[in-house]
């Protein structure tokens, strides 16, 4: 994993948590870049970004430093119980349905 992946700075803590939790850095980056939802975090200036992939919700905590560079502070995931909602489908499933009806 790379501390400067995707043009943002990843803390050692975030990288270690992704390793421990089996989360791909690209999935965490995509969650931060294009979240389904976000909310203010508990640390000053931080935000939590959420995205669901194939029944797993990835959550990314990020904030900007004094140079306005984005820092990824932590990453975790949790299973999501499907409610039949389109948002819980994997990207591949959505693409197949769009292509083939």
At 88, is the pLDDT very low, low, confident or very high (cuts 50, 70, 90)? low
At 36, is the pLDDT very low, low, confident or very high (cuts 50, 70, 90)? very high
CB 58 within 8 A of CB 28: yes
> Has residue 55 got a pLDDT over 90?
no
> Has residue 90 got a pLDDT over 90?
no
pLDDT at residue number 94:
73
Instruction: Give 3-state DSSP helix, strand, coil % of the chain, rounded to 5.
Output: 35, 30, 35
Measured in degrees and rounded to the nearest 5, phi and psi for residue 80 equal -120, 130
pLDDT at residue number 81:
74
Give domain limits for the chain.
Answer: 5-100
> Has residue 86 got a pLDDT over 70?
no
At 89, is the pLDDT very low, low, confident or very high (cuts 50, 70, 90)? low
């Amino acid at each position: 994993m790379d501390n400067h992946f995707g043009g943002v700075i990843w803390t050692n803590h975030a990288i270690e948590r992704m390793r421990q939790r089996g989360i791909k850095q690209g999935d965490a980056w995509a969650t931060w870049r294009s979240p389904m939802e976000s909310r203010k975090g508990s640390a000053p200036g931080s935000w939590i970004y959420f995205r669901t992939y194939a029944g797993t919700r990835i959550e990314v905590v990020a904030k900007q430093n004094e140079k306005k560079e984005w820092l990824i502070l932590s990453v975790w995931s949790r299973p999501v119980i499907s409610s039949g909602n389109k948002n819980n489908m994997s990207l591949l499933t959505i693409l197949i349905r769009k292509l083939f009806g």
